[in-house]
Amino acid sequence: MSAESADGSRRLRVLCLHGLYQSGPGMEETVNNSSFGQESIKSRFEFVSVSAPEAELPPPVLQMLGAGGDYRRWWTSFGGVYYPGQPLIGEPFRDVKVLKQGYGTEEEIVTGILNEEMDETFKFLKDLIETRGPFDGVLGFSMGGFLTSILVPLQLLQQRDGELKKRVEARFNLNRNSADDEISQRCVERTLQAALALAPVLDFKFGVICSGAPNYDVFCRELNLHPQFKSAHEPCSHSTPGTSYAPESVPKDLPKDEMAYPEPFPLLVTADENDFIVPFADTEQLCGLFANTTFLKVSGHSLPTLAHECNTQVVDWMKDRSTS
């Protein structure tokens, strides 16, 4: 049950999803030190930060220093790509494999590329929402932002008279006899079923994505969650191993009724033009997918803060959510 605001009304509850190598407590601190931690916002909103179900090794530098801590991930972050109609173990993953040599066996690497753990994340979130919800909004940072870019489409497709289920069934029918290998089929089908179970409990009224972007993994491509999205990090099967390219992406300035998600779902997106972790061009493509997006620039791979020029706009946007 949410606490009340100063005027006796219910504070809106926001589910906060952390980035890679973070945890719930770390995300809580990040939110408190951001624009969202101002009293003018916290008096209207309750931010609930949770830890991802999967533990992660510390970043390499901290491993060398022997540092401890609670590091978490929402899924295995190999970041591979699926090219429909081609075997998943083989040419399409050549570049990724070259980059990931030494990270495990070929099966472990490919399974990681296929985001095997995403199904566990979906199950975790379903249980969380059912036991600790409801949540009025969702805020994702970095990897949590990528996750938010998945959750919102799942919700919107579910609300389109069973559109999500139709896409899952179409995917199965399309690929039963394809060249996809057994590992990919097992991973993707398990994740799709977990998504179908999660979607009915999603009922966010708004979303915030900070230093995140659409996702280009197998699961998202199978459901066409982010049509025409192309990442600057996306490896090309016919490129020189280890290189990448930035092909044509989601068109800018599409009429709202032609966007993938023309629904009036309010989405706030923030990004840094010089972000060296998540390409600015990737994050920017969210504006061409979701019709009701507010896009603000910040400095650094971070949440907006009082020091950023957009701080006032963030506060105003959040206040609008509490009165709508």
* pLDDT recorded at residue 62: 59
pLDDT beyond 50 at 240? no
Residue 262 has pLDDT above 70, yes or no: yes
Instruction: Tell me the average pLDDT of the chain.
Output: 79
Where along the chain do its domains lie? 12-323
**Tokens 């009429």 identify what position?**
255
Q: Please tell me the chain's helix, strand, coil percentages from 3-state DSSP, rounded to the nearest 5.
A: 40, 15, 45
242 pLDDT tier (thresholds 50, 70, 90): very low
Whether the per-residue pLDDT at 92 is higher than 50: the answer is no
Instruction: For residue 290, give the 3-state DSSP assignment.
Output: strand
The better pLDDT of the pair 233, 118 is held by 118
Q: What is the pLDDT of residue 155?
A: 97
pLDDT in tens, 60-89: 655 555 555 788 888 875 443 333 333 333
The pLDDT of residue 5 is: 59
**pLDDT interval class at 281 (50, 70, 90):** confident
Residue type, 70: D
Assess whether pLDDT exceeds 90 at residue 39.
yes
Residue 53 has pLDDT above 80, yes or no: yes
Of how many residues is the chain composed? Answer: 324
The least confident of 15-24, 120-129, 233-242, 290-299 is: 233-242
Percent of the chain predicted with pLDDT > 90: 47
Would you say residue 182 has pLDDT above 90? no
Q: Among candidates 217, 238, 273, which has minimal Cα distance to 90?
A: 238
Q: What is the pLDDT of residues 145-154, one digit of tens each?
A: 999 999 999 9
Instruction: Say if residues 301 and 278 touch (Cβ distance below 8 Å).
Output: yes
Q: How confident is the model at residue 217 (pLDDT cuts 50, 70, 90)?
A: low
Provide mean pLDDT across the span 87-111. 44
Three-state secondary structure along 31-86?
HHCCHHHCHHHHCCEEEEEECCCEECCCCHHHHHHCCCCCCEECCCCCCCCCCCCC
Least confident interval from 112-116, 252-256, 318-322? 112-116
Phi/psi for 255 (5° steps) reads -60, 145
Query: Hey, how many other C-beta atoms are within 10 angstroms of the C-beta on 206?
Result: 22
Fold for 12-323, please state it. Answer: Rossmann fold (3.40.50)
**Which is more confidently placed, 14 or 1?**
14
pLDDT, mean of residues 52-63: 70
- Provide the residue type at 51 as one letter: S
**Could you tell me the pTM of the whole model?**
0.83
pLDDT at 235: 47
